Chain A
C-alpha cells in the first residue's frame, strides 16, 4: 500500500491508524514524523529498546486512540506521556495501563507475562493455588523452551483453569 501522508502530503505514509469515532470507522495514514507530531508515535524515547517495542505495538493496534486516552488515577500519567518518556509514573500504572502494557511486556520478555521469581517475605506464604501456579508457569516455560508444544498446551490449560477458579 503506497500512499502519501495525509498531513504533510510529502512523505510516504508508514503509520496506518483506524479510529472508531462515534461508531464510524475512520482511517488515517501518516508518515513517521507527522505521527510523532500527533503524539501517536514516541519522539526519541529514553530507552531505545522500549521505543522500538512501543513503535511495534502502536503499528499493530487499531484502537490506538483508546490507549492514548488512558491515564493513571493515582499519578495522572497518560499513556501518551509514557510513550514519549519511556518511564512509568507509579506502581499503579501497571494496572491502569494493563491492556496496553501486556503486549509490550510480552515483547520485551520473550512472551512472558507472569513473574515466577522471588517474592518478598511478607508475601511469602502464598495460598496453595498460587504455589501451583508458580510451578506450572515454570513448567510451561521449560516445555516451550524444549519445544514440547503439546505438553505446553496441556500446562497452559491447567493454568487457565487455576486462574479462573
Chain B
C-alpha cells in the first residue's frame, strides 16, 4: 500500500475545495478512550495488544472496510512510519511510540483512525480546502458508528474522558492549514497570530505540535474542548476565525500586486529559477520557494506551473517520501541532491 501511496499526493493535498488559494486543508480529530481500560500511560503491553485486537475490526470498518488498510506500526519500517507522518495520516507521537499501536487509513486518505496513540482512539478526517461542515458530518457519523460497537469512557460532567485534561469534554481538535505568504511579506502576520492566540487558538507549523512554521504554511487549531459544543468550535473556525484570516491575506495579496509588483514578481521568478536550477537543496528551502510559486500561480503571475505540481513536490520532497521513491536510504547530503534533481525534472518544461 505504501509503495503505491508515495507516488501521488493524498486527496487533502489536491489543491481543490473551497478557499483553496489560502486554505490548504482542514482536519478534525476526536480523542476517545475505551471504558474499563486504563489510559495508555498505565496500560500493560498485554492490555495494549488486547485493545488493538478489539478495536482493529471496528476502526478498519470505520475507515471504509476492505477498501481501507490497517497498519501495525511495529510491523512497518521507520521509513514507512515517517512517510505516514509526512502525509499527516499519523502523528509523530504514534510513529515514535512503543508497544502495540496502529492506524486504519481509508483509500482516499481522508480518514485515519489511530489506535493507542495518547488516547486509545484518535479519529481524524481530512479534506482539501475549507470543508469543516462536511468533515464534521463525516467524523460525527464515524464516531457514532464506532460508539455503537465500543463503550467509550464518558463522564456526565466532563464528557469524553482523555488522558490529558486539556482534551477533555468534546475531545475535538479542529486544525486548518493555511498558506499566508501575503501576510508574511507585508509583515502583518505576527499581528494576526497575536489575535488568534488571544482567542485561545494555537498557531503552529505544518506538522503540528513543536514544529516551526516553514515556507509560510501555518496550522491554526482550537485549544478549548470543554464548555463548548462541537458545532460551536467548528462554527468559530468556519464563520469567524478563518474568514477573517482569509480576508487579511487577500488584502495583503492585493497590496502586493498593486504596490509591490516588481518585488513580488522578483520573488516568484527567483524562486522558480532556484528550483529549476539548484543542484542541492534542503526541504526548508524547497518549502520557502514552493510557497512563492504557489502565490505566483494564484495571483496569475506564473502560468506555466500548476498547483497540482506544486502540491506534489511539496510532499515528494519530504525526506521519507524522497527515500521511498528512490528505494534507498540516503544521507542528508544525498537527499538534498536527489531532491534538487526531482524538482528540476518536474519544473523544467519538456522534462516531465
A residues contacting B by CB (< 8 A) are: 47, 49-50, 53, 74-75, 77, 85-91, 94-95, 101, 104-105, 108-123, 130, 137-138, 141
The smallest C-beta distance from A123 to any residue of chain B, in angstroms, reads 7
Residue of B nearest to A116 (CB): B229
Residue of A nearest to B38 (CB): A90
Q: Are A91 and B35 in contact (CB under 8 A)?
A: yes
Q: A91 is contacted by which of B153, B172, B225 (Cβ under 8 Å)?
A: B153
Not counting A89-B38, A110-B227, A115-B168, a sample of 7 additional A-B residue pairs whose C-beta atoms are within 8 angstroms of each other reads A53-B166, A77-B42, A90-B37, A108-B223, A109-B226, A113-B157, A121-B144
Q: Are A49 and B223 in contact (CB under 8 A)?
A: yes
In chain B, residues 203-236, which have Cβ atoms closer than 8 Å to a Cβ of chain A? 223-230
In chain B, residues 30-66, which have Cβ atoms closer than 8 Å to a Cβ of chain A? 33, 35, 37-42
Q: Are A108 and B165 in contact (CB under 8 A)?
A: yes
* B residues in contact with A118, CB < 8 Å: 140, 143, 159-160, 170, 229-230
Q: Is the interface of A mostly helix, strand, loop or mixed?
A: loop
The smallest C-beta distance from B114 to any residue of chain A, in angstroms, reads 16
* A residues in contact with B168, CB < 8 Å: 94, 105, 109, 115
State how many residues of chain B have any CB contact under 8 Å with chain A. Answer: 42
Q: Are A89 and B144 in contact (CB under 8 A)?
A: no
Q: Are B227 and A111 in contact (CB under 8 A)?
A: yes
Residue of A nearest to B162 (CB): A88
Q: Are B157 and A114 in contact (CB under 8 A)?
A: yes
Residue of B nearest to A46 (CB): B164
**Could you list 22 A-B pairs, sorted by A, with CB under 8 Å?**
A85-B41, A86-B164, A88-B41, A88-B163, A89-B39, A94-B158, A94-B161, A94-B168, A105-B158, A109-B226, A114-B157, A114-B227, A115-B159, A115-B169, A115-B227, A117-B230, A118-B140, A118-B229, A121-B147, A121-B148, A123-B156, A141-B227
The smallest C-beta distance from B202 to any residue of chain A, in angstroms, reads 8
Q: Are A122 and B151 in contact (CB under 8 A)?
A: yes
Whether, in the assembled complex, B314 has its beta carbon less than 8 Å from a beta carbon of chain A, the answer is no
Q: Are A120 and B157 in contact (CB under 8 A)?
A: no
* A residues in contact with B42, CB < 8 Å: 75, 77, 89-90
* A residues in contact with B156, CB < 8 Å: 115, 123, 130
Whether, in the assembled complex, B279 has its beta carbon less than 8 Å from a beta carbon of chain A, the answer is no
Q: Are B200 and A110 in contact (CB under 8 A)?
A: yes
* B residues in contact with A109, CB < 8 Å: 168-169, 224-227
The smallest C-beta distance from A74 to any residue of chain B, in angstroms, reads 8
The smallest C-beta distance from A139 to any residue of chain B, in angstroms, reads 12
Q: How far is the CA of A90 from the CA of B165 in the complex (A)?
A: 12
Whether, in the assembled complex, B155 has its beta carbon less than 8 Å from a beta carbon of chain A, the answer is yes
Whether, in the assembled complex, B154 has its beta carbon less than 8 Å from a beta carbon of chain A, the answer is yes
Q: A50 is contacted by which of B155, B157, B160, B166 (Cβ under 8 Å)?
A: B166
Q: How far is the CA of A112 from the CA of B172 in the complex (A)?
A: 15
* B residues in contact with A141, CB < 8 Å: 227-228
Q: How far is the CA of A141 from the CA of B143 in the complex (A)?
A: 26
Q: Are B41 and A89 in contact (CB under 8 A)?
A: yes
Q: How far is the CA of A117 from the CA of B231 in the complex (A)?
A: 8
Q: Are B169 and A117 in contact (CB under 8 A)?
A: yes
Most A-side CB within 10 Å, residue of B143, B154, B226: B226
Whether, in the assembled complex, B118 has its beta carbon less than 8 Å from a beta carbon of chain A, the answer is yes
* A residues in contact with B223, CB < 8 Å: 49, 108
Q: How far is the CA of A134 from the CA of B154 in the complex (A)?
A: 16
Whether, in the assembled complex, B152 has its beta carbon less than 8 Å from a beta carbon of chain A, the answer is yes
Q: Are A47 and B164 in contact (CB under 8 A)?
A: yes
